[in-house]
Amino acid sequence: MSLDTGTIVVIVVIVIFYGRIFLMQRGKSRRARLLAGKSRRAIKRATAKGNVDATILKSGVQVVSWYLVFASIAIILAGFVLRTTALSFKDWWWVIMSAGIALLGVSIY
């Protein structure tokens, strides 16, 4: 398996995307704990007993616009189609796919 420049760029963009999601998850859980005034140990103890506030456990990413999510998925699929077909834009598939992944990263918070 040979890695060309386009594949390396797409891999880097995906790592940045997932790193951003990881940092958002971590930040949300930290802010929820601070708002609740509880330590991580107290939350684990309360979760085991089943009496923890739902706002503390609510974490995850929120979607800015579902239209942007669907558009980014369509752009990613267009990049995949350009890579697998023999069109004149075959060498530029990675630009389109990276743009779709970046748009997907912008459409969540």
Residue 18 DSSP code: H
3-state SS of 35-98 is: HHCCCHHHHHHHHHHCCCCHHHHCCCCCECCHHHHHHHHHHHHHHHHHHHCCCCCHHHHHHHHH
pLDDT in tens, 22-56: 888 887 777 666 666 666 676 666 666 665 555 55
The Cα angle at residue 24 between residues 37 and 95, in degrees rounded to 5: 175
pLDDT in tens, 54-91: 555 555 678 889 999 999 999 999 999 988 887 777 78
More confident residue, 21 or 90: 21
Residue 2 DSSP code: -
Cα-based distances in Å from 64 to 18, 76, 94, 109:
17, 18, 25, 7
Per-residue pLDDT, 60: 66
Per-residue pLDDT, 50: 62
Per-residue pLDDT, 85: 86
The model scores a pTM over 0.85:
no
